[in-house]
Amino acid sequence: LHRGQGVIRRWRGWLPEIPEQAVAELGEGDTPLVEATRLSGRVGARVYLKLEGLNPTASFKDRGMTVAMSRAAAAGRTACVCASTGNTAASAAAYAARAGMVCFVVVPAGKIALGKAVQVLAHGAEIVQIEGNFDAALRLSRRAAEELEHVALVNSVNPDRIEGQKTAAFEVCEALGRPPEALALPVGNAGNITAYWKGFTEWQRAGRAAGRPRMLGFQAAGAAPLVAGHDIESPETVASAIRIGSPASREGALRAVRESGGLIESVTDAEILEAQDLLAREEGVFCEPASAAGVAGLLKLAREGRAPAGTAVCVLTGHGLKDPDAVLSRVRLPEPVPATFEDVARRLGA
Ligand code: F0G
């Protein structure tokens, strides 16, 4: 029904003002919500997957980027900057190209998944690799945007990003006909959990639903400042997208958890990779490691007898093709065989 319309045109009345001529969109949003029957069996709840990897640049970032970039263009900015673990950079690069703006992305050197780096280069953005982590990159990007008047900051500390991303909550409610009992998602810089909570809250206030879901946020064990209660100086995890030690939207995340009776907990790298593998093999859904953190969290809650009752939605934030190394590190391409029927048949188990 709404396919290809884009977040701004679909949800205009819920978003800040954007003049029509400034709209930079790529038909983002309106992503599938698919039921995961095998996962549901394992968790003991009705589990749905929100496939945010099916956005134009293959992550949820596009929802917020269309709003932030359009508003920056409308305000007369000619360039943008962001810090990123990869997906924000890929999305900013694409939407800046669309808006005719110059794009600078500041990233931790050598720490960006291959697919994301390739996207940034393909769109012609300027990559600034720093000898530091995401948290340092965000500090530097904020300062650059403060001091250079023509440059807009398009990280999720820009409220326009949150406004765009909240539309995913509206879609979940529409697809189910009501809010789910629980929403599970990975937490890095904590913009997305903040955005979903804002979306569910506005939906309820508008009289569209009676309640709101419990928010279940999951961080990687080596990068879990919200679980530890303090910043982590050198965050480490295989889930490079959420390798963040000092989340900018910490307050938004804590409010979501408090007001919803939810939780923020951690999952190990092994649990994350196991969930990624299970989604791919049992559900046919390929997401990047960070995106599997919500599913890993639900499985952990189920093992401990704490699974949510009713319907749970897991947000799969980014596509698996973003990070080929994550799979290649555990699955090898087998050696070639001679091109004879006998050799092929042997491989087929004959
Ligand atoms: N999942 C993926 C695939 C991400 O790329 C991110 C964040 C998150 C989850 C966490 O979302 O930060 O709003 O809590 N990626 C940012 C980036 C940091 O630079 O691409 P969050």
Ligand 1 nearest atom to the CA of residue 88, by list position: 20
Q: Flag residues of the chain having pLDDT under 70.
A: 1-2
* Strand, helix or coil for residue 104: strand
Identity (one letter) of the amino acid at 103? C
User: At residue 29, what are phi and psi to the nearest 5 degrees?
Assistant: 85, -170
**Dist. CA 347 → ligand 1 center (Å):** 40
317 is in an annotated binding site: yes
How far lies 229's CA from each of 153, 156, 187, 226, 272, in Å?
Answer: 27, 21, 14, 5, 22
Q: Which residues pair with 153 in a beta bridge?
A: 81
Q: Supply the pLDDT for residue 78.
A: 98
ipTM of the prediction greater than 0.90, yes or no = yes
**Dist. CA 239 → ligand 1 center (Å):** 10
58 is in an annotated binding site: no
Ligand 1 nearest atom to the CA of residue 191, by list position: 13
Ligand 1, CB cutoff 6 Å, lining residues: 59, 61, 84-88, 156, 186-192, 241-242, 288, 290-291, 317-318
Ligand 1 nearest atom to the CA of residue 318, by list position: 3
Ligand 1 nearest atom to the CA of residue 253, by list position: 14
27 is in an annotated binding site: no
Q: Provide the 8-state DSSP code for 334.
A: P
User: At residue 129, what are phi and psi to the nearest 5 degrees?
Assistant: -85, 125
Q: Which of 154, 145, 101 is nearest to 123 (CA)?
A: 101
Q: Supply the pLDDT for residue 350.
A: 84
87 is in an annotated binding site: yes
The pTM of the full predicted model, rounded to 2 decimals, is 0.97
How would you classify residue 138: left for phi > 0, otherwise alpha for psi between -120 and 50, otherwise beta?
Answer: alpha
Is 125:154 a contact under the CB 8 Å cutoff? Answer: no
192 is in an annotated binding site: yes
**Dist. CA 242 → ligand 1 center (Å):** 6
Q: Provide the 8-state DSSP code for 319.
A: B
User: At residue 204, what are phi and psi to the nearest 5 degrees?
Assistant: -70, -45
**254 burial level (CB within 10 Å; 0-12, 13-18, 19+):** middle
Is 100:259 a contact under the CB 8 Å cutoff? Answer: no
**Dist. CA 76 → ligand 1 center (Å):** 27
Q: Supply the pLDDT for residue 2.
A: 65
**Dist. CA 117 → ligand 1 center (Å):** 15
Q: Supply the pLDDT for residue 1.
A: 56
Please give the full DSSP string across 302-316, using - where no structure is assigned: HHTT-PPSSEEEEEE
Is 113:42 a contact under the CB 8 Å cutoff? Answer: no
Q: Which of 210, 208, 188, 185 is nearest to 50 (CA)?
A: 185
What span, in angstroms and rounded, lies between the C-alpha atoms of 94 and 124? 9
